[in-house]
Amino acid sequence: MTGPLPILRWPDPRLATVCAPVAADDDMADLVRAMFETMYDAPGRGLAAPQVGVLKRLFVMDCGWKDGDMTPMVCINPEIIRSEGMASGAEGCLSIPGVLAEVMRPDRITLRYRDLDGVTRDVDLDGFEARCAQHELDHLDGIITFDRLSPEARRVVEASYSVSFPVRPA
C-alpha cells in the first residue's frame, strides 16, 4: 500500500460500521504508512481506518504537525479508560469535507492503545488532542460527527453539506 488512499465520504455505509479489533499478529505497518500519507496530504490531523475502507480498530493522528511539531501517534484497539470535564469545540472531518460542527466532549481523557510495536500504552490527553482522539475513536464505533448533534443542529449541518457536496446513493 503506497500513496494517499481514497477517503470515504459520508453517507458511505462503511462509516456507520463498528470495526473489528486488530489481531496481535496483524501486520499494520503498510496500512499505517499509507494512512499517515493520506492524512498529511488531505491535510488532516487524524484518520481512522474505516475512513479508508479498512474496518479495523486503528487510527492515526498528529495534532501538532500543522504548527511545526510532528507528534504522530498510531493507536491500535484504542479505548478510553478515564475521562473528565466537558468542553464544546468545532470539529471537522475528512469524510464530511467543508463541515464544521460544535460537539460537546470530555476535555481530558486517558487513552489506552497498542502501538505499532505491539506495546500497550496509556496516554493522558487534553484539549484538542483529547478531542481528536475521541473523534477518531468514534469512527471505529461507526459514529460520525452528525451523530453527536441535536436533531435540529444535525438537520442544519447535513443540509449545508448536501448543498456543497451533493449526497449520492452509495
| Residues forming the active site | 136
User: Distance of CA 92 to CAs 1, 103, 113, Å?
Assistant: 26, 10, 23
Cα–Cα–Cα angle for 33, 37, 42, rounded to 5 degrees: 150
Q: Compute CA 28 distance to the chain's CA centroid, rounded to the nearest angstrom.
A: 17
Cα–Cα–Cα angle for 71, 21, 129, rounded to 5 degrees: 25
Per-residue b or e along 40-59, where b marks 16 or more CB atoms closer than 10 Å to that residue's CB? beeebbbbbbbbbebebbbb
CB 4 within 8 A of CB 52: no
Going 91 to 66 to 5 to 111, the CA torsion angle's sign is: negative
